[in-house]
Structure 1
Amino acid sequence: MRTELALREFLASRIAANLSPATIEWYKDRLLPFAKSCFNLPRRPEPVEQFLATVQGSPETRWDCYRALKTFFRFMSSRHRIPNPMDAINPPRR
């Protein structure tokens, strides 16, 4: 599955769950760079770890990306029964 399509599906589910526009933007800001870096939705942790290693900014910025990815992959795993690579990734230091 293409990551961009998976991201659209995830964001649509957040809108349907009536999350605030600010929360939707928060997810977009953190997940769009990931979708651009991984054309196909990864099923292994290595591509996700490689992306997290490129996140610039404070430790809190990397933590935010980790949290967004964890929620995104939990949704995709539940919805499509795909492996969740975040299960094998330890959270970054804060």
Structure 2
Amino acid sequence: MKKALAAVCALGLALSAPAFAGEGDKTKMVEDHLKKMDTNGDGMVSMEEHRAAADKMFMEADTNGDKMISKEEMIAYKAKEKAKAGH
């Protein structure tokens, strides 16, 4: 259940990022995100690759290590990701 929740959170983060970008940036953001998840370089993201990326994102957001993400942790994570993207 927790892995499913992590996957849903990661997918939500991945899909929400383009919503905050300009129309011209959306394709590049999606391509960059998929490239990061495509660890074997085959141009596609397998379920295993997606799960690994979701787990990594969840663990980065879960700053207190309690295996749950609070509203505050999610806000902080989104701000960190936005800063990394240069927005």
TM-score between the two structures when normalised by the length of structure 2: 0.34
**Max radius of gyration: which structure?**
2
